[in-house]
Amino acid sequence: MHHLLRKVKNMQRDQVVVVKLGTSVLTGGTDKLDKAHMVELVRQCCELKKQGHQVILVSSGAVAAGREQLLKPCGRTLIDKQMLAAIGQGQLIHIWQSLFALYGVNVGQMLLTRADVDDRERYLNARDTLNALLNYDVVPIINENDAVATSEIKVGDNDNLSALVAILANANKLLLLTDQQGLFTSDPRTDINATLIDEVTHINDELRQLAGGSGTNLGTGGMATKLQAADIARRAGVEVIIAKGADENVILKCMSEQLPGTRFLKLTAPKDGRKKWLLAGPKSSGQILIDAGAVHALQSKGASLLAKGITRAIGEFERGDLINLIDVNQQIIARGLTRFSHLEIDKIKGAHSNQISQLLDYDSGVEVLHRDDMVVL
């Protein structure tokens, strides 16, 4: 009997959950960190750990914490924000550390930038560190390295960062906690007839229009970035929930049958780790415009991209660079690693595979993007 009970318990456990806390959740809409509410969030995270789950926090709030520390008034330019982040990040991690310590739980800080994900080796390194923390039962607390990140290397907002973290950690769920109940049919702050969307099965332009821009002037993300993040994460096989951080037991409810907020159904994840990395979205160097036949071959047949289906190369890129494949409507169809540079593609576009070695004077295979190096979106 005990054996059976243990088996049932094991079936429910071992979920890796990424909890993303926006500035609006941590400050309760004020310009100071709401420590009483932070205690409540920590209690729920520790309760999840007791149930056997692994928890990762992606925490905003460094700038808000810095503003609170620095008694002088301070502007809102990028350099001011970076300075405030430098002051506030230590303070923020200190608060998390002392709150988790109440429950006898250790935390570990990881500050990431886009560059840590773009480079395959650094991505694997970050993944190993994250897994090591989880193996030792430590709660990783992750933020963007705001004090040094420039716009080129910024992920830009913690919604998208949390999606990358969910992919790095091979997470089961990503909870995006915000000051709204979830995704609504229109803006609930201005429209009384707005209704909550319980479940999203696919993300389209109509849904993106509903999401609009950033809601508060404290944070950098709005519903639009949450939708982007949800789209990235669900493609990698992560279930995403957008819910209100101030609701009672919101983190625990996300693990129950009665889900709060809006749930995004996950898609079937690629098995291959490299493909997951491609989904985690290193920035692409350029684009290749492909014709309708090639679009069909990639989407329906899982084929590699051949020169014949290429209309033209856009931007500059070398062999081995990550590029997006787009159709005539500028929609991204797939992304992957190219085996030819933009100059070579200009020479071979539209050509039959058996002509390539003559056109280039050397033989470098016929697939421009091999299906093993590509994810179809």
End position of a domain, from candidates 275, 302, 333: 275
- Strand arrangement, sheet containing 332-337: 310-314, 286-290, 322-326, 332-337, 374-376
pLDDT at position 76 = 81
- Give the three-state DSSP class for 103: coil
Residue 20 CA to residue 124 CA, distance in Å, equals 22
Let me know whether 306 and 225 are in one domain.
no
pLDDT at 212: 63
137 and 181 fall within a common domain: yes
The answer to whether residue 110 is domain-embedded is yes
User: Given 248, 275, 302, which residue is the final one in a domain?
Assistant: 275
Domain boundary among 258, 275, 292: 275
Q: Which residues of 153-180 are buried (b: 16+ CB within 10 A; e: fewer)?
A: bbbbbbbbbbbbbbbbbbbbbbbbbbbb
Q: What is the pLDDT of residue 155?
A: 61
Kind and range of the H or E run holding 119: none
| Structural domain containing residue 318 | 284-376
Whether residue 3 is contained in a domain is answered as no
Q: Tell me whether residue 1 is in a domain.
A: no
Both 270 and 133 in a single domain?
yes
Question: Using an 8 Å Cβ cutoff, are 55 and 48 in contact?
Answer: yes
Question: Looking at residue 8, what is its pLDDT?
Answer: 40
User: CB of 146 within 8 A of CB of 89?
Assistant: yes
Answer whether residue 2 is part of any domain: no
Query: What local confidence, expressed as pLDDT, does residue 330 receive?
Result: 87
Are residue 91 and residue 61 in the same domain, yes or no? yes
Residues 295 and 290: their CA atoms lie apart, in Å, by: 7
268 and 312 inside one domain: no
> What's the CATH number where 315 sits?
2.30.130.10
pTM of the model: 0.81
Per-residue pLDDT, 10 = 43
Confirm whether 156 is domain-assigned.
Answer: yes
Q: From CA 157, how far away is CA 145, in angstroms rounded?
A: 11
Residues 182 and 248 in one domain: yes
At residue 65, what are phi and psi to the nearest 5 degrees? -65, -40
**314 within a domain of the structure (yes/no):** yes
Nearest to residue 162, comparing CAs of 182, 138, 181, 143? 143
Give the count of domains, the chain: 2
Q: Give residue 35's pLDDT.
A: 93
Residues 92 and 241 in one domain: yes
Q: For residue 137, is it within any domain?
A: yes
Q: Is residue 291 part of a domain?
A: yes
Residues 6+ apart with CB under 8 A from 192: none
Clarify whether residues 63 and 212 are in a common domain: yes
Contact assessment for residue 40 and residue 177, using Cβ atoms and an 8 Å cutoff: no
Same domain, residue pair 254 and 311: no
Same domain, 59 and 80: yes
Same domain, 186 and 268: yes
Average pLDDT of adjacent 10-residue blocks, the chain of 377 residues:
45 80 89 92 96 94 90 84 91 96 97 84 91 95 82 68 90 92 80 86 74 48 78 89 93 86 85 76 81 90 90 90 89 88 91 86 82 84
Residues 96 and 224 in one domain: yes
